Chain A
Amino acid sequence: METTRTVNFVYAYKDHAGKDCEAKLDVKFPFEDESLEELVTQLLAQMDPMMRYLDEDVNLEKKLQAFIDIEHQKFLDDYAEKLINQAANEELDLEAIVRNTERLYKEELLQFADRVGPSDEDIFAQSFHRLVHSTSLEDILKRERGYAKVIADMTELMDNEVESLNNSQQQEMDSQINQLDITTTSEDINNLLAQQYTTQNFVRKRYESELEAMMGHQKNEYRNWITSQVSQMFQVSPVSTPLGNRSSMFVSQQPSMEESFTIHLGSQLKHMHNIRILSANVTDLCSPLHAEESLNGLNMALGLYSSSLCGVVVLTPSIQAQANKSIIKNANRSTEFHFDQMDVQLEKIEKQIRALNSSDTSSTRSNGSGNSGEGSANSSPAKQSVPKLKTGDFFITKHSNLSQSHVIFHLISDEPINSPSEINSRHPVILGLRNILKTASRHDITTLTIPALLRHEMSEDMTVQWCIRRAELVFKCAKGFMIESASWGGAELSTLQLLLPHDISEELFTTLAGMVPNVFRVANPKILVDNNK
């Protein structure tokens, strides 16, 4: 069906000598974004320049306007008529039209949508946020610490028992091995090994299920308690901090080396951001919350449902949805009261990856070879059916029991550990980083930690030169993304933390920290002068 139509406009006029002339122009319909003035100009250009001074444009504009009004309406009428005829002749799928219309109205307009009440999570979030900003804060923290203590004790007990079991088994094994070929055969040893393994497994399983039960119990109890507290609160004071307020997380743990800068970004309108460069182990940023007496618990609780969240980017290889082992361990040190336990979150994510893969196999296959880059270079075609994320993809876990992060971005990077490679700004990991910043901006994550070398550990092959090049790339890309983020219309990133490996040399750290003010424009200090002097 024609969606546009061109009609020729003829304008007859008398020129300055009184001769009859014509100016012609093809006008496209529907006439929407074009401007009448532009067409008038085009027509005038066909005439003698003198005509402009004779105010011919006034009349021309009037004529053209009338012409366009009529033709535009005619076009619309014809277009609609054609549609109507088609509908009448059953050439259009009316069924689908009605279905689509209904779907659109139901999905996008509150008036027609099937109303769902707020989810349990929403309600809990509301209640918790309200409580945390009240006098009950102290009680909450006390309770959380108590719960954490129980779990920590249990874990410790488990670790101890497993270790002592290990020791005794080791001894037993040693003695058996010593007796090898004297009183025992290799078969006996194999048997023993199997038996030891089962016992160990049994002990571990027992504890794990016990832990799981305990965590489930704690979570229930805790959530019920919060809800009950809130209903009491309601009767007392209705005021509270609204959900999604601003909150700030102050870091009380001092990493080994760090330096902070305040920077301005933007050419005319300047946005202020904080940049902190620090060297630390990434797991330190995700350490268990209640391990020691600190303010972290307070920070975490106040910030959890606010609109200033903290996020950490952790690199992870592409082998399924696997997170950093020690982070999982940290997360399991206490009960996750607000979200699923981390293992469960990971499990769910894995399930979703599988679903995602099966749903868009066609699309991934078509561009799979193109943008997977190094990520899939070593994966054979047969392996491709295994659900797997590629370099630059990331998955997200949420936490309420880690010290400095509410959100962990697990960014897939398959850079081999011992051979640092060269990457450029179009590398999937960098693009993934951009996506992370974008997600952060959309979901109010205002403090973000990124690995500045895209590595968590130093290795011998990482020369000073390589580190400088890599850091410069990451700094510059981060700067670019931050400038870009101003137009995304989301939350502004207030603090960007550049994380360097914990085992970096002091010298290299100083060098890299020195690069920050060169790449980012450091804000000038404000000097207050007494004008009266």
Chain B
Amino acid sequence: MANATAATNTGTSASAVNNSNKLETRRLCALTFFAKLHPGDVCGSNGLPLTPNSIAILGRSQRLKQLQHANLCQYLDVVRGKHERTIVVSEYVGHTLEEHVKRHANTPLSNTQLLRIFYQVAKALDVLHAHKLVVHNLEPRHILIEQQQQLEQVKLFNYGLHHMTKGGAYVPFPLGNVRYMAPERLLGANGSIKSDVWSWGMLLLEQLLHVELWPRLKLSNIAWKLLAFVRSNSSSGGGALVLEKIAREHQRWEMYQELPHELRHLLERCLSVLPAQRPLPSELLQHKCFADAAEMLQVASEHQQLEQLPLLLRCPLAQIYHLWQLAGGDVQAELKKEGLIRSEAPILALPQIVRLSGSSVCPPRSQSYLMDERIVLLKLQPLLQRLSRLPASVYFPLLQSQPRRQQQQQQQQDLQQQLPLLIRERDIEYQFRRVRLFTRLLHGFPHTADQLQREAAIDIPPLLRGPVWAALLGVLPNASYAKIDKFTATTTDRQIEVDIPRCHQYDELLSSPDGHRKLKRLLKAWVTAHPQYVYWQGLDSLTAPFLYLNFNNEELAFLSLFRFIPKYLQWFFLKDNSAIIKEYLSKFSQLSAFHEPLLAQHLSSINFIPELFAIPWFLTMFSHVFPLHKILHLWDKLMLGDSSYPLFIGIAILKQLKSTLLSSGFNECILLFSDLPDIVMENCVIESQKMYECTPKSITHRQHALRTQAPHVLDIGLAEVELQHLQSEQCPRISAKDVYQLLQQAPNELALIDLRSVVEYSRVHVPHSINIPFATVLLGEQRLEALNVPYLEAQLRGRIVVCVSNIHQHAVEFSHFLVACGVLRTCILHKGFNVLHSIEPNILISN
């Protein structure tokens, strides 16, 4: 089987040798296995069902994606299939050591070459050891070699299996090739890098002697051989005996003795039966044998010229993989094609008897559930071709480039931007441009903050959402997260422990044990960092999107949260937050009356107040009520707006449910909101954006919002509007400043209703304002026609209607009347007509 893949590999690369040898050497590959099933029904210590092992693997493997080193194949993705299947996608270069030896069958590899190769393997081991990882499945198939001019570039492959499966605990199959396995591993020791050093020594010995170790022995016999070393060597413990035995067994004793003394000494140490006598990888690197190899590689890396790689392959692998997926790449389909995922009729595998006790009678397990160590190469060629037409400026966009050429691109982009977001997110070429552009912008952050903001307003590429959000929130990592105490027990621990296993658990990352641990750390860190605040339930949901996006970068997640909360939820996490929440919800009511008067009217008439449903919405910025994929799109826009933006999202949700709500009574409404129905997020985002843009800033004024600038004289000042006003007035107040601005810039969007008497009106008034003396109005009849003003409805439609009076109460009552009539966007001038006198230059005229 291994030979079969080997044959195909050599076949493909041989044919491609002429034109694109370089191309074909950098590839992606996938391998797959089944995680162990939990036997029967077992519960964890917290009484909840156990997490499936495949999820635990997924969580653990995230860490591996972070590893980037010249001698390690990068991990790109771990996918969870049906029925506990796990698929690992990783980088793959060149060919295996096995093939490399075969290619050089005529001219055996010289010792210098071998040392160069194994030096790099030792380097990989050293890096892994520094990360507290072990390999435990070191064998020729997992050492990949790419020939670069005279040198071999070596990368270790599939080294993370031990870590992601927690030392093999999560999978039914054993790890490692017995032939190269250290004896103590057979006896049950697990997790020591010294075992890998043994394997390294065995591999090196095998290559130096130009033999295959025990080629025809059965597995059990090899195991016996290894155990025999243990028995015979216990007294001396040295590797010399082991080596002699192996060399003599393979008739290579003379050859072994011809090896340089130092090398023999090194091998002897590596193959000591007692691990304590084996060197650590760092000691291997320091060994004299490798002095030449190290120097050569050092020189080579210094003189490395820019390779003649296609532009795409110079991009980070994670981006290439992302694009490969967008281009229609489907790992599962590729595995199926190669027969690594075999479909079998499910009906044939049904058990015959299942008992409550957990025992069952099943037909014999099909062999398709066994671990198949073959790998499948994922072809990048179609992707390369697809993107080869793009000019280099797309691969490496210039941020401050000349405007003319951009214009043309701009037009093209504008066209694409009219497409729905979901389509844009799946358009490979579009995403490619965006990803490259944002990569550049992020490199330049914070100097590119403005440009980033502009581009993010169009859309945010999903691949880079985490860092882009952080940039939008103005996060600059400063290592402060590491200093926060995340471990000392506090009083909120219990609540956090209860909340975490209930927080977005449908998501694989967040439901993995690693996800739980990380979320707990983040929450505790936030609580510790804010002694003035307390942990309110909902903080977990609020944190979840940030953790989801920055799973491998807790600090970024924490800092994003750290900036996010004051921006949108200032003071919400006080121990007594009732005043803040009350003000927020009153503002929400006012704004719904402003944008949806009829709906607001109906809801208040059935007494369905926001307190009953909207607190979790705003306290968690909707992350408690929507699934993650919807929150991401929602927050994409939220990040760009100010603290009032969430209010409009709330209204957009109400708007979407309008017809249902209008026809429902109190009980139906409660039921409907107890489990929010499916909301179409794209419409919601567009609606809220529209409302946000057409609402003057002062309308959304809240006392408790975070303020970065001192208010203008004509603004609504601090502490000028009290909670009781907010609660008693159905319509929001507008500041004189906004009225003035509207008068100056867009008089067509404004309708001023002057409620003073005719006399006062004739003395002085705002041009084009409508005079409806409050004294003449009968508020009993709730129809606009009752006012007897010609074309009033037409004059108000589509405009912001500002009620102005000397007497505040008049304006309030009249605005209520307008809302009852269903007039959109009604508001009251803050401080009444007299404030208009203070505007300079004067805007008032008299008849």
Contacts and interface: CB of A to CB of B under 8 A. Distances in A.
Interface of A: 30, 32, 35, 37-38, 41-42, 44-45, 52, 57, 73-74, 76-81, 83-89, 92, 94, 97-99, 101-102, 104-113, 115-116, 121-122, 125, 129, 242-244, 264, 266-270, 304-307, 309, 348-349, 352-353, 356, 360, 363-364, 367, 371, 389-390, 392-396, 398, 406-407, 428, 431-432, 435-436, 439, 442-445, 484, 486-491, 521, 523-524, 526-527
Contacts of B219: 101-102, 105-106, 112
Contacts, number: 258
A163 B763 CA distance: 112
Given A268-B626, A309-B346, A352-B353, A30 B191 contact: yes
B336 interface: yes
B350 A76 contact: no
Interface string B654-674: 000001100000000000100
Contacts of B352: 348-349, 352, 395-396
Interface string B695-729: 00000000000000000000000000000000000
Contacts of B429: none
Given A87-B231, A111-B373, A352-B352, 9 more contacts: A77-B194, A80-B274, A83-B189, A87-B230, A110-B1, A110-B370, A393-B354, A486-B506, A524-B660
B372 A87 contact: no
A267 B371 contact: no
A83 B184 CA distance: 7
A524 B678 contact: yes
B104 interface: no
Nearest to B231: A88
A41 to B, nearest CB: 4
Contacts of A101: 174, 178, 186, 219-220, 223
A115 B361 CA distance: 23
Given A98-B220, A112-B219, A309-B347, A41 B485 contact: yes
A484 B49 contact: yes
Q: Top 9 A-B pairs ranked by shortest CB distance?
A: A88-B234, A108-B173, A80-B184, A269-B627, A305-B345, A76-B192, A444-B346, A77-B276, A524-B677
B356 to A, nearest CB: 4
A67 to B, nearest CB: 14
A84 B183 contact: yes
A270 B351 CA distance: 30
B622 to A, nearest CB: 10
Nearest to B369: A108
13 contacts: A73-B192, A76-B191, A77-B275, A77-B276, A83-B184, A108-B371, A116-B367, A264-B675, A268-B628, A307-B346, A356-B353, A360-B357, A393-B355
Interface of B: 1-2, 49, 52, 54-55, 80, 82-84, 172-174, 178, 183-184, 186-189, 191-195, 219-220, 223-224, 227, 230-231, 233-234, 273-276, 280, 336, 343-357, 359, 361, 366-367, 370-373, 482-483, 485-488, 504-507, 511, 624-628, 659-660, 672, 675, 677-678
Contact of B344 (A35, A44, A97, A244): A244
A396 B183 contact: no
Given A97-B227, A353-B353, A490-B83, A125 B348 contact: yes
A52 B351 CA distance: 60
B343 A110 contact: no
A431 B487 contact: no
A392 B356 contact: yes
Given A81-B276, A125-B348, A406-B347, A490 B371 contact: no
Contact of A431 (B280, B356, B488): B356
A348 B349 CA distance: 16
Contact of A364 (B49, B345, B357, B624): B357
Nearest to B167: A32
Contacts of B678: 264, 270, 523-524, 526
A243 B345 contact: yes
A92 B275 CA distance: 19
Given A104-B174, A109-B173, A110-B367, A487 B234 contact: no
A391 to B, nearest CB: 8
Contacts of A442: 83
A393 B678 CA distance: 38
Given A84-B187, A111-B1, A489-B83, A390 B356 contact: yes
Nearest to A88: B234
Most-contacted residue by chain A among B275, B343, B352, B488 (CB, 10 A): B352
Contacts of B371: 108-110
B347 A521 contact: no
B353 A396 contact: yes
A427 to B, nearest CB: 11
A129 B345 contact: yes
Given A57-B483, A98-B224, A488-B52, A305 B353 contact: no
B44 to A, nearest CB: 13
B345 A244 contact: yes
B191 A109 contact: no
Contacts of A364: 357
A101 B220 CA distance: 8
Nearest to A350: B353
A229 B24 CA distance: 42
Contacts of A488: 52
Nearest to A484: B49
B345 A84 contact: no
Nearest to B511: A487
A521 B678 CA distance: 12
Contacts of B482: 37
B627 A270 contact: yes
A527 B220 contact: no
Contacts of A105: 174, 178, 219
Contact of B346 (A38, A244, A428): A244
Contact of B174 (A79, A109, A267): A109
Contact of B627 (A242, A268, A349, A360): A268
B504 A268 contact: yes
Given A81-B274, A109-B373, A349 B220 contact: no
Nearest to A339: B347
Given A41-B488, A443-B349, A490 B82 contact: yes
A243 B344 contact: yes
B359 A356 contact: yes
B306 to A, nearest CB: 38
B665 to A, nearest CB: 16
Given A38-B487, A84-B184, A527 B659 contact: yes
A93 to B, nearest CB: 11
Nearest to A521: B675
Contacts of A125: 344-345, 348
B506 A269 contact: yes
Nearest to A525: B660
B173 A98 contact: no
Contacts of A270: 627, 678
B675 to A, nearest CB: 5
Contacts of A92: 187
A360 B356 CA distance: 13
Nearest to B230: A87
A84 B194 CA distance: 14
Contact of A108 (B274, B370, B625): B370
Contact of A80 (B174, B189, B367): B189
Contacts of A390: 355-356
A439 B351 contact: yes
Nearest to A522: B677
Contact of A109 (B82, B370, B485, B624): B370
Given A101-B174, A442-B83, A110 B373 contact: yes
B759 to A, nearest CB: 45
Contacts of B274: 77, 80-81, 84
A83 B185 CA distance: 10
Contacts of B353: 349, 352-353, 356, 389, 393-396
A443 B354 contact: no
A524 B280 CA distance: 63
